[in-house]
Amino acid sequence: MVDPLKQLAEFQLDVLKEVGNIGAGHAATALSKMLDKPVDMKIPLVNILAFEEITSSLGGSEEVVIAIFLRVVGEAPGNMFFILSQDSAKKLLANMAGIEIEQDGAYSEMEISALQEIGNILVGSYLSSLADFTRLSMSPTVPSLAIDMAGAILSYGLIQFGEMGDHALLIDTKFLEGDNEVEGHFFFIPDPESFEKIFRSLGVPFE
């Protein structure tokens, strides 16, 4: 089978970018309702990464991050992560949700709950957008939240969900409330057989 990433034409990459744009729009609307204040999303950066490049994009495997992760079930199963740096999480809680973090590295139940709810909204928005575009049935399982080193979180995902695919769809998104900007990283790592289904649905031929 020919590597689909080498066949990924500009048109198909534009389709994936549109998935990111629509997902970001849905997420901004949902966050605005949740927080009861205007939230804007910048046009996200969309790319396909090799699995080993994921931790590098987060600052290295030892970088402590906050992750919402879940299993996607349906016609194109895979694993989904929404990852924030600690700095972004603090900005999100303090500036958008109006919650102050009292000490570095420690989070109250209220803070964890707020991060989980916001992460759920974002993950759901992007998954819904991806399912609509590919016309594939894709549903999320109940999300989990972890605060740990990026490498450990991905390793835990492997243990929990079994073998992951070799590539990830990355959507780097920035959302704003006033002058406050928060950056998050959304990863969808399809199972090996799912990539073929997704690319076929976007018109990329497989041999």
User: pLDDT tens digits, residue range 62-94?
Assistant: 888 999 888 899 999 988 888 988 888 888 887
| Residue 86 located in a structural domain | yes
pTM of the complete model: 0.81
pLDDT reported for residue 112: 86
Nearest to 85 by CA among 109, 55, 53, 129: 55
Neighbour-count burial for 47-60, b at 16+ CB within 10 Å, e otherwise: bebeeeebbebbee
| Residue 146 located in a structural domain | yes
- The region, left, alpha or beta by phi > 0 then psi within -120 to 50, assigned to residue 178 is left
pLDDT reported for residue 204: 66
| Residue 109 located in a structural domain | yes
Domain coverage including residue 58: 4-201
| Residue 206 located in a structural domain | no
| Residue 207 located in a structural domain | no
Q: Which two tokens stand for residue 94?
A: 């303090």
Which regions of the chain are under pLDDT 50? Answer: 1
Q: Count of domains in the chain?
A: 1
Helix (H, G, I), strand (E, B) or coil at 205: coil
- CATH code, domain with 148: 3.40.1550.10
Distance CA 139, CA 127 (A): 8
Main-chain dihedrals φ then ψ at residue 190, nearest 5 degrees: -65, 150
